[in-house]
Chain A
Amino acid sequence: MQDRNHLSDVQPTNSVCLIENGLIEIPMLQLLDENGHETNKEQSPEIDEATAKRIAATMQYIRLLDERMVGAQRQGRISFYLACTGEEASTVASAAALSSDDMIMSQYREQGALAYRGYTTEQFMNQMFSNELDPNKGRQMPIHYGDKTLNFMTISSPLGTQIPQAAGYAYGQKMSGKPALTICYFGEGAASEGDFHAGVNMAAVLNCPVIFFCRNNGYAISTPVEEQFKGDGIASRGIGYGVKTIRVDGNDVLAVFAATKKAREVALAHNCPVLIEAMTYRLAAHSTSDDPSGYRSKSEEEKWHAKDPVERFNKWLDGKGWFDKKATDAYLEKSRAEILAAVKKAEKVPVAYIDDIVEDVYDTPPWHLKKQLVELKAHIAKYPEHYPKTSGRVK
């Protein structure tokens, strides 16, 4: 057995000193200024026209979808929604820098990444209206999407739990020898959960090819970052766990794309995790259940509107000669119509069958569960007047 010396890297000192936060400066990668001009052309990533346009279109589509679905919730058509307005570049540009074989384990505000992968308007709607065509069969609250064919893990409500799971999925990818990794999204608030610390440490120690992508959007519902942590953001924690780390302007498509490309390259080449902290701002409310005017100022929000990622990227596209105002307007009009039509269609589709509740609890339903269903159905059949919207939906 080899001798170990866990003090080999420790330098002795003969003066009493306290090491403080801030001694290591963690800069923020920014490749596009607020006017959409490249700040360092040498570092700008290569993005072809088609990819650039797909990123722009996805960001705009998601902004529209968010706007419409918040509206639908306000009208009482769905129970809950959660917008990502202001953070579109973080999720869409990072997803664009990945391979479609890479697994996405998200928190709940990454509809941009899912849309980039190809989730359709109809799929979004059926899930949110939890109807018969809902891929989750009415089992999950709105926005808890999941799609195995798109390598997008089904979203779970408890915060931060995807972080150790992402390390494990990446471990499985490594063991199978596939040249693919896992990206794990979460907010700076979720990074206070024990799962963050456990998961990032596990991934580092066990050499898992995973990108931990933190959207530092300034708020966890109403809690600002100053009340969430004292350290230098989330990036400093990555370094503390021995994880290569990049801090990036989360409203800058080029910077997010370049950082994620680099992270992917390093994680796969060295079988290690990489942490990205994307500095952004949640222009939206946390969800349809809160009103930001109670906890932050309008002038603060205004400052971030000026950094809008969609506008900034459009300016860059314009500079490249890839921005067509007419075509963009037409696309927005078409998307708006598509979303409205999909809402109307999805809400007319009947709810899923109650019979489905015993499926997938286990690989095959055990008899006691089937018996419980029979009893439940007998009751519903006897008293349909108490279940007017669902009593007809019994197989």
Chain B
Amino acid sequence: MNMSNNRVLTMARAGREAVKWEMENDKNVFMLGEDVYKFGGVFGTADGLGEIFGADRILDTPISETGFIGLATGAAIAGMRPIVELAFADFIGVCYSAIVNLAAKHHYLSNGEFKVPMVLMLGSGGGYNNGGQHSQALHACLAHMPGMKVIAPSNAYDAKGFMHAAIRSDDFVVYMGQKRTSGVGFFGAPIPDSMSEIPDEPYTIEFGVARTVKEGTDVTVVAISWAVHQAMDAAKELEKEGISVEVIDPRTLVPLDRESIINSVRKTGRLVVADEDYQSYGFTSEVIASVIESEPNVFKSAPIRVANPDTTIPYSRPMEQQVLPTSARIKQAILDVMK
């Protein structure tokens, strides 16, 4: 791949590049949602695409999430490859049935006859001072349900590769981009490590293959999406104190690369799981349960979860910073499992 051009892109730009390439190369791909055609999407996911592809393929819809997800599902069944821009993950509440009972189940309930090759784009997570109805991660609400792949890339390189893969997949794929990593203005400057040098060529990344972000021998930290960067900050600090932390980014919640996680814990014997979603019944429990089911005797100490407490995320900026799974909380958890 040509990496010589030094194009460092944000996650939003990298994802958009994949969308553009796929739309140029497959006439069945189209994007729809609120404010995508003229405005480019509230998260910039369709920035400039309206001018290139026209109003029929960058489709502005009336305000009804259940309506346009239903519409996209129908279009997918008809052979199109819709990309739905739903903006905030928080809004899945008004269209949850359209997602989990319809789009995710048609393939199974029709015995594979009616496929739904659709991508649902969600902006997830908080950390930018927007209150409890605009800041939730909620990936577990989707990953819990059968029938859809759920991906949550943490950086621009993965964003582009997964977006190509998601659009080409015959499965229904939910693509969750954390807003603080997106590089969109009103969410604040992107976390530097979420930006990547992006090859010009299209490329895909396989779902269900974790990335070892940093190798280590003392503790395994499994983190996804925005939490990966928090875990890395904690790991780098603790490196100075002589603790060797392995950071694993599964990148996709469904399918989940349990094998890589289990292999890492076999090596370190200690596990911390960091996630921005609510703590109970979530990603953190799933990871820990998966390891215990497979390797009940491998643990040198009890695993620890670092997640949002099971309460609504505060609007107040200082209070919000206290509930997020920040590097400070992850660092403490690592020190605790080392005891």
User: What is A's interface to B at a CB cutoff of 8 Å?
Assistant: 103, 105, 135-137, 139-140, 144, 146-148, 153-154, 156, 158, 161, 163-173, 175-176, 182, 194-195, 197-199, 201-202, 205-206, 359-363, 366-368
B254: chain A residues at CB < 8 Å are 366
- Say which residue of B75, B111, B113, B146 sits within 8 Å of A171 (CB atoms): B75
Q: Which of B65-73, B186-194, B327-335 is the contact stretch?
A: B65-73
A368: chain B residues at CB < 8 Å are 255-256, 258
Q: List 22 A-B contacts (CB under 8 A).
A: A139-B111, A161-B101, A163-B70, A164-B64, A164-B66, A165-B77, A168-B73, A168-B82, A171-B75, A171-B78, A172-B78, A172-B79, A175-B56, A195-B67, A197-B64, A198-B67, A202-B62, A202-B71, A360-B112, A362-B149, A363-B115, A368-B258
Q: Which 8 A-B pairs have the closest CB atoms?
A: A168-B74, A164-B70, A198-B67, A172-B78, A165-B74, A168-B71, A198-B64, A154-B110
B75: chain A residues at CB < 8 Å are 168-169, 171-172, 175
B62 and A201: CB pair below 8 A? yes
A161 and B102: CB pair below 8 A? yes
B109 and A139: CB pair below 8 A? yes
A167 to B78, CA, bound (A): 11
B171: chain A residues at CB < 8 Å are 362-363
Per-residue interface assignment for chain B, residues 93 to 117, with 1 indicating a CB less than 8 Å from any chain A CB and 0 otherwise? 0000110011001111111111100
B67: chain A residues at CB < 8 Å are 164, 167, 195, 198-199, 201-202
User: What is B's interface to A at a CB cutoff of 8 Å?
Assistant: 28, 30, 56, 59, 61-62, 64, 66-80, 82, 97-98, 101-102, 105-115, 146-147, 149, 169-171, 208, 254-256, 258
- Say which residue of B69, B111, B256 sits within 8 Å of A137 (CB atoms): B111
A52 to B85, CA, bound (A): 47
A194 to B65, CA, bound (A): 11
A146 and B110: CB pair below 8 A? yes
A176 and B78: CB pair below 8 A? yes
Residue of A137, A147, A156, A202 contacting most chain B CB atoms (<10 Å)? A202
B62 and A164: CB pair below 8 A? no
- Measured CB to CB, the closest approach of chain A to B191, in angstroms, equals 30
A139 to B82, CA, bound (A): 27
A105: chain B residues at CB < 8 Å are 74
Considering the complex, give the chain A residue whose CB is closest to the CB of B110: A154
A171: chain B residues at CB < 8 Å are 71, 74-75, 78, 80
